[in-house]
Amino acid sequence: LRRPDDAASYARARDAALAAGEQAVQNMNTLDHRTLGKGLDSWEESTTGDLHRQLVDGRDAFAKQIEAAKTVSTAKVLSGAVTELDERAGRAGVMVALRVTVTAPGGDPAVKESRMLGTLTRTPEGWKLSALGQAPVGSTAG
């Protein structure tokens, strides 16, 4: 049984994790070849752990791919939910529904809606993504 202050603390932690998770997932699906350094910095600032290391290690190769393709990707969060929260362990899970628009030179924008599952880890700077992947197609949120 939770005391009222425990419930309020849990609600604040849940809201903070959701806000950080939605923003981080949006950041990870937004990238403009014209401001590539800023976009990749945003990716790195939104992540921690293995995911962060993968981004740092692969940054140069990925930057070359985006510069060659000259694409612009913009993401808009449609909805989000916290799927799990362990305040003591500093871990949370989120599911975020997004609309991503990708524009390539001379082409019409391609719009795709997707659901992403993210794992968040609490760091001294706040909640950051430590894992991110597509939600399985056909699954429903709790």
pLDDT tens per residue across span 60-77: 999 999 999 999 999 999
Q: Give the whole-angstrom CA distance, residue 83 versus residue 22.
A: 13
Maximum pairwise Cα distance, the chain: 60
pLDDT > 60? residue 140? no
Could you tell me the pTM of the whole model?
A: 0.90
Please report the pLDDT score of residue 1 as a whole number.
Answer: 56
Averaged pLDDT score across all residues of the chain: 94
Which residue ranges form the domains of the chain, and what is each CATH number? 4-134 (3.10.450.230)
Q: Is the pLDDT of residue 4 over 80?
A: no
